[in-house]
Homo-oligomer: A and B are copies of this chain.
Amino acid sequence: MSFQNPVFIPGPTNMPEVLRKAVDMPTLDHRSSLFGEILHPALKGVKKILKSETAEVFIFPSSGTGGWETAISNTLSAGDKVLAARNGMFSQRWIDMCQRHNLDVEIVETPWGEGLPADRYEEILTADKAHEIKVVLATHNETATGVRSDIAAVRRALDAAGHPAMLFVDGVSSIASMDFRMEEWGVDVAITGSQKGFMLPAGLAIVGFSPRAMAALETATLPRTFFDVRDMRKGYANNGYPYTPSVGLLNGLKLSTEMLLGEGLEAVFARHNRIANGVRAAVNAWGLDLCAASPDLYSDTVSAIRTPEGFDSTRIVTHAADEYGVAFGVGLGEVAGKVFRIGHLGSLTDVMMLSGLATAEMCMADLGLGIELGSGVAAAQEVFRSSKGNAAKAAA
């Protein structure tokens, strides 16, 4: 695989030069005052991107999975009840983690390709008169299926049921790429990582805790030390960290938030939407379907594309890597072999995206899928032309 080609996986994303250089720092004493000059702007930048005035942000040398564990272990106790829908690989993994941590998960089985069932949530919450459910889990963007769910609708379900459960949202593949409103949607814990919308290497779990989530720290008895946000909070107050921080990644995060806020979040979201529209136009031109069941569910960061019955979709991904040096995503879990995924988030231009679509076409043609070469590219070109002018300015 050639490092010259962009990647088209749903994270880690392509990285801007300036962010790579910000991460690649010489050693800085993390107990010196210089560290605070990196940490605090990074925390503040994240908070703005989460769109919260009241959340506290914590950053761990970890991954999005560590962010999930931070959320539950700081706020819950063994036996606590959690409500979650399983509609893809990542929601499934979070459920699995809860079970390993001895939580009692009420699972709403949901077809992969569908969004979170806010109506069903409302029924269950309404029925939970004893308020045993402590937390509702919500995967904002199911990276496995390319489905973006409606978090505002989940909040409305909670409100309609008059239920006090907290709302925890996995925004790993949505935050900083698609609209996310922590405060407005009443999100209590928001979770993301460095390697998606922030366009950095993997290595940071990024979480925001609402005041209610912070209050839950006091009663939660699940054991935690590495992921204990109380230690983090204490450290931050002294410009420090409870252990050795990833200074370079934090420096990158500081700059990443500056870049994203400088471009403007709405512009960032529009850019992702434009590129996603190009990909979807190509899929349509190829005569294929997305895994996502309906347009309102289409993700702007990843498209999971169904391949014809009887064809092993993994072959496209393997073929692209072996023959063209290009990385796409395989199908995972229930949709393994049935979909391949094109990631279209982070540091990506229209022009780069076209090379990904052109590669997918060659692969499908090579493997006998009867795709007309150039057809998807042409459809995407039409989308990109009509929104031209934005392309060149972005992602500098």
Contact = CB atoms under 8 A, between A and B. Distances in A.
A354 B68 CA distance: 40
Contacts of A323: 388-389, 391-392
A378 to B, nearest CB: 3
Interface string A10-41: 01111111001101111111111110000000
Interface stretch (A161-169, A244-252, A261-269): A244-252
Nearest to A94: B225
Please report whether the interface of chain A is mostly helix, strand, loop or mixed according to DSSP. Answer: loop
A348 B355 CA distance: 12
A303 interface: no
A352 interface: yes
Given A4-B395, A325-B391, A244 B27 contact: no
Say how many copies of this protein the assembly contains.
Answer: 4
Interface in A44-96: 61-66, 68-69, 73, 78, 96
A187 interface: no
A62 B226 contact: yes
Interface stretch (A116-124, A132-140, A291-299, A356-364): A356-364
A1 interface: yes
Interface stretch (A149-157, A304-312, A326-334): A326-334
A225 B100 contact: yes
A32 B327 contact: yes
Contacts of A246: 201-203
Nearest to A372: B378
A215 to B, nearest CB: 20
Contact of A377 (B15, B21, B225, B377): B377
A324 interface: yes
A131 to B, nearest CB: 24
A5 to B, nearest CB: 5
B385 A358 contact: no
Contact of A396 (B2, B23, B32, B223): B2
A330 B238 CA distance: 15
Interface of A: 1-7, 9, 11-17, 20-21, 23-34, 61-66, 68-69, 73, 78, 96-97, 100-102, 193, 195, 201-203, 222-228, 242-249, 321-327, 329-330, 347-352, 354-355, 358-359, 361-362, 365-366, 372-375, 377-378, 381-382, 384-385, 388-389, 391-396
28 contacts: A2-B392, A2-B395, A4-B349, A5-B352, A7-B27, A23-B24, A32-B321, A33-B321, A62-B66, A63-B244, A64-B243, A68-B225, A100-B225, A201-B246, A202-B247, A226-B227, A321-B392, A324-B351, A324-B388, A324-B392, A354-B355, A354-B359, A355-B358, A362-B385, A362-B388, A372-B378, A373-B382, A375-B378
* Closest 6 pairs (CB-CB, A-B): A374-B378, A374-B374, A29-B327, A355-B355, A325-B392, A354-B358
